[in-house]
Structure 1
Amino acid sequence: MPWRTKEASSPSSANPSPEALQSPSSRGNMADKLKDPNTLGFLEAAVKISHTSPDIPAEVQMSVKEHIMRHTRLQRQTTEPASSTRHTSFKRHLPRQMHVSSVDYGNELPPAAEQPTSIGRIKPELYKQKSVDGDDAKSEAAKSCGKINFSLRYDYENETLIVRILKAFDLPAKDFCGSSDPYVKIYLLPDRKCKLQTRVHRKTLNPTFDENFHFPVPYEELADRKLHLSVFDFDRFSRHDMIGEVILDNLFEASDLSRETSIWKDIQYATSESVDLGEIMFSLCYLPTAGRLTLTVIKCRNLKAMDITGYSDPYVKVSLLCDGRRLKKKKTTIKKNTLNPVYNEAIIFDIPPENMDQVSLLISVMDYDRVGHNEIIGVCRVGISAEGLGRDHWNEMLAYPRKPIAHWHSLVEVKKSFKEGNPRL
C-alpha cells in the first residue's frame, strides 16, 4: 500500500526501534490492546506528541488514527441539527457560530465528548423579541400617567366658566403601598392667582371627584384663555409629587360651551407645573438688494407678571447672533404696568445676502426694573439654526423677499447654559 511505502522510505525508518522489529504476532497483540480504553488513552496522548515517533509502530499509529476519525464522525452526527431548515435558521441568527462539519481536527485529539444537545431547535430571536417587548412595555408604563375626565360649560348670565372635574382613571402609583392620594389643581391661564383644587382622595388610582369650579371671565376673552389641570399625589410629611398635567389651549375645541360636554384627556408626564410666559408677535422682512433685515415688534400678550403689583414693565431686546456670538443688539421702548403691550416698532440690521445662513436673531422680552437688574420674562429665536416655528418663519421670510411675514411666537425660559456672551437657546 502507498502509506507502507512512504513509511518505509521515511527517515524515521532508517533507525528502527526495537519495538518496530518485533514479530508479526507481537504486532497483532498490540492491535488487540487498542480495544482496551486505558491503553487507547495512553496511545492517543503519544500520537499527539509526534506523528513519526520511533517508539510507536506505524500500524499502531494508523489504527489509532482510524479510531479517532470514527469517533469524530460519531460526534458530528450527534451535535448537528436534525432538520436542515432549523439549521439554516440557527445560522441566520447566530452568524458567528462555527459549523461543526467544517472543523478539521487533523491528527489532534477531538474535544471532550459532549452530550447530545438540542441547540439546533433554539430560536434566539424569540428571546430577543421578548426582552425588547419588555423594555417597550416598561418605557410605556413610565410615560403613561392615566386619563382625566372633566366637562366645560359657560354661564352666559353670570359670565362664568364652569369647570367640572369628574374623575381620573389608571393613575400611576406614587406611594410604597402601590397606591396614590390624588387631587387636581385648576388654573384658567394666564391668570395663576386664581388657583382652585379638588379634595384629596385617599389610596386610589381611580378617584371620582365630581366637583364644580367657577371662573368669572367675559365670553369674548375665552378664546385667549387656557385651561390647565395639574394632578398631584398628596404627601403629609414631604413635598407633594406631581403626577402629570393637561393643558387645553382651545376652550372651544370640544364644544361651543353653550352646553356641558364631557371631555377625556391623557395626562401628560411632568415633574413640575408648566409656566406660561406669554407670546410675542413680530414680522420679518428682508431686502436682498439692499442687504437689510427688518424685524417689526408688533405686540405681546399674556406676559408673566414680574412685579408685586401683578403687572410688568416690558420691553423687547433683539440680538443679532453669528456663530453663537452677539454682534449687535437693539431695544424697543418700555411699556409700563401691562401684560399685553403694543409696540409697532421696527428694528433694522444690515446683513449681506451671503451671510444670511450664518446669522440668527434672539428676541428677549425683558421686565424693566428701576432698582436692580432687569429680568428676562422669556425668549424666542429665529434663524436657520433655530427649531420649529423659529426656523419656519425665517425660511418663509427668505422665500418671499420684500414682503413682511408676521407670526405669534411662544416665549420660553432661558436655559441654564445661557450666558450674555454665549446666547444659545
Structure 2
Amino acid sequence: MGSATVSLRECAKAPTQLRLALTGSTTSEPAGPRLLLALCYSTKRRALVVTVCRAADLPAQDSNGYSDPFVKLHLDPDPYHKKHKTSIKWRNLNPVWNEEILFETRPTELSRQNLTLTVWDKDYGKPNDFLGSLVLGASSKGRRLKHWMDCIKFPDHRHEQWHSLTDTQHL
C-alpha cells in the first residue's frame, strides 16, 4: 500500500494520535512497460468496445533511442476472425492513442472469450519488434480477470485500468 516514517523521539515525549500520508503507493499503476485500457460492453452496439488509451515506459528498439509502437488486438474465439490494430506513434516510448475498437459479440460469449493485445515496434525492411503482450479474459488472473469481469457484470460502463505488459508473445 505504501509507507510512512515517524520519529520515535517525537512519540516518546507525549502520547499522541497521528494521521500520516502514505507514500510510494503502487496500487493504481503497475511499474514497467504498461498499457492503459478501457473496456465496455455496449448493449446498444452489441459489441465489446476496447479503448486503447495509452502506453508508458515502452522499451526502446530503434537506434535513435525510441520505438514506433502500435497495438494489435484480437478476440478469441471470434466467429468473424477480425483483427484490429492502432495507428503507429512514431518515436515515442509513452504513446497516446485513445483509439476505440469494436468487437461484435454477445454478452453471454464474453465469459468464454479472451482479448489478446500485442504491442509492436514498426520497422521497415525487417520484421516488427515485439514489445509486450497482454491477455484479458476468462483465462486471466488477478487485476486482469477483475477488469474483464467488471466489464461483463456492469455493461454500458467504461472500465479503465493499467496493465503490465508481459514479454511472452501470445499467438
> TM-score, normalized by length of structure 2?
0.77
Structure 2 gap ranges (5+) = 6-30
Deviations 1:280-304 (A, max 9, x none): 1010000235421100011111111
Deviations 1:374-401 (A, max 9, x none): 1110001111221222211000111211
Q: Percent identity?
A: 34
CA distance 1:326–1:301, change in 2 (3 Å): farther
Which is richer in strand? Answer: 2
Is 1:285 aligned with 2:40? yes
2:118 corresponds to which residue?
364
In 2: Cα distance, 1:277 partner to 1:334 partner: 21
SS in 2 for 1:327: coil
The CA deviation at 1:309 is 1.3
The CA deviation at 1:314 is 0.4
8 Å Cα contact 2:41-2:107 kept in structure 1: no
CA distance 1:390–1:288, change in 2 (3 Å): same
2:147 corresponds to which residue?
393
8 Å Cα contact 1:316-1:332 kept in structure 2: yes
In 2: Cα distance, 1:378 partner to 1:253 partner: 31
Structure 1 gap ranges (5+) = 1-249, 256-275
1:336 corresponds to which residue?
90
CA distance 1:326–1:391, change in 2 (3 Å): farther
Deviations 1:301-340 (A, max 9, x none): 11111111111000111111119x9932101100011100
Which AA in structure 2 matches 1:364? T
What pairs with 1:162-181 in structure 2 (closer than 5 Å)?
none
8 Å Cα contact 1:291-1:350 kept in structure 2: yes
The CA deviation at 1:277 is 5.2
Which AA in structure 1 matches 2:77? C
2:81 corresponds to which residue?
327
Tell me the C-alpha RMSD between the 2 structures: 2.3
In 2: Cα distance, 1:410 partner to 1:350 partner: 26
The CA deviation at 1:253 is 4.2
SS in 2 for 1:412: coil
8 Å Cα contact 2:73-2:118 kept in structure 1: yes
CA distance 1:337–1:393, change in 2 (3 Å): same
Is 1:377 aligned with 2:135? no
What pairs with 1:18-417 in structure 2 (closer than 5 Å)?
253=3, 278-288=33-43, 290-322=45-77, 327-414=81-168
> TM-score, normalized by length of structure 1?
0.32
In 2: Cα distance, 1:284 partner to 1:301 partner: 18
Which is richer in helix? Answer: 1
The CA deviation at 1:361 is 0.4
Which of 1 and 2 has greater Rg? 1
In 2: Cα distance, 1:346 partner to 1:291 partner: 15
Deviations 1:77-98 (A, max 9, x none): xxxxxxxxxxxxxxxxxxxxxx
SS in 1 for 2:82: strand
Stretches (4+) displaced over 6 A: none
Deviations 1:147-194 (A, max 9, x none): xxxxxxxxxxxxxxxxxxxxxxxxxxxxxxxxxxxxxxxxxxxxxxxx
1:14 corresponds to which residue?
none
